[in-house]
Amino acid sequence: MIAPSSKPLASTAGSVPDHPQRPAKPAGEVYRRFDPQLGAWVSLRTLDICGDLERFSRWQNTPRVMAFWEEGGSLEQHRQYLEKLAADPHTLTLIGCFDDQPFAYFEAYWAKEDRIAPFYDVGDYDRGIHMLVGEQAHRGPHKVASWMQALTHYLFEDEPRTQRVVAEPRADNDKMISYMQSQGYHCVKEFDFPHKRAALMMQSREDFFEGRLLD
């Protein structure tokens, strides 16, 4: 589970000469494939604030999630959180589903407009991810392998110029780091955000697609 690194920078997409113009955010389902290992469909859709708010709030208020995200609160607080992200061109909020049943919340962000950017040689189209599995029944390494592969695959397919996907789990989050390494991410280094010691995890497009048979 990886929580947001910090509040995003003020929106710079399209307004600063060295930042690409970001496309309009999609709506609805953005990814679907059948996972033969699980015998289930894994899919990603954009978060709908009206339809997903209560679920999101329930997930954020579970002790396990609160320990990492520190975003427990009321429905109104969570509505404001999601509305802020909806208005932010650098972040896309997603719901992960197995057989169309929601189980996880993801944030995909353009790394160059995020506070992670100063900590490595960020590329124009690098994407970053924050990850939260909300439903207890869908935890475990076999499920992580399915959704993490799907999420990474989507981000590389969404923008052909994206060469790297990054994440910044807490440096002492050994379980998540191990899960990510098992799915082809490697730890570049540790670094300090104001609120945590983080591990910079990274996977390249070349490494992701090498030897994989994906539709």
**Residues of the chain by 3-state class (helix, strand, coil), percent to 5:** 35, 30, 40
Question: Is 52 strand, coil or helix?
Answer: helix
CA 161 – CA 150 distance, rounded (Å) = 18
Assess whether 168 carries a catalytic annotation.
yes
Name the token pair of 165: 């996907």
Q: Which of 213, 135, 129 is nearest to 179 (CA)?
A: 129
Which of the residues 157, 168, 190, 210 is marked catalytic?
168
- Please tell me the distance from the alpha carbon of residue 7 to that of residue 75, in angstroms, as a whole number: 20
Residue 166 phi, psi (nearest 5): -125, 160
Active site residues: 168
